[in-house]
Amino acid sequence: MKINIKLSSEKEFILSYLKMSNLLLPPQSQLHDVEMEVIAYFATLPPKFDYQRFSPLAKKKVIEAFKENDRNMSIFNLNNRLHALVKKSFLRRDEDRVLYLPKNLLIALDNFRKNKEFNINILWQIKE
C-alpha cells in the first residue's frame, strides 16, 4: 500500500514523521502532541542553530514561534517538555549536558529538504 501525503512545510513534515513513528513506540515512550510541536520547532530552526539547537536563544525562538501561533509556552514549560523528552529517551543528553535530536529525525529532515519527498517502508513479519 502506498499513501501520498502532501505537505506545505518542513514543520508539517516533522509532525507527520513523528506521528507515524509514534505509532510504533510502546505506550510509555509515545510523544504527546505538544512534545511533537516542540521537536518540530527546534528541528526547523535556521542552520545557525545546528550546533546549539537547545541554547537559550534557540529556546527563545521556539517560545516566539508558539506565540506567533497563538499558543502560550513559558521557558519553564518548555524546559519541562525537554526534560520529559529526555526521560522518554527521545532526546539524548551527553556528559556535558548538551541535548541532541535523534539522528534518524535529522537525516529524514535533510532528505526531505533535498528531495522534497520522503519514503517510509514498514515490514511486518510473523515471529517464528
Please name every residue paired with 92 in a beta bridge, in sequence order, or none if there are none: 100
Q: Which domain holds residue 61?
A: 10-114
Average pLDDT over residues 84-92: 93
Does any domain span residue 53? Answer: yes
**Residues 89 and 29 sit within 8 Å (Cβ to Cβ):** yes
Domain count, the chain: 1
Does any domain span residue 62? Answer: yes
Does any domain span residue 4? Answer: no
Secondary-structure percent of the chain, ordered helix, strand, coil, rounded to 5: 55, 5, 40
Does any domain span residue 109? Answer: yes
* Residues 19-30 pLDDT 10s: 988 988 888 889
* Residues 113-126 pLDDT 10s: 888 877 777 777 88
pLDDT of residue 1: 65
CA dist 117 and 103 (Å) reads 18
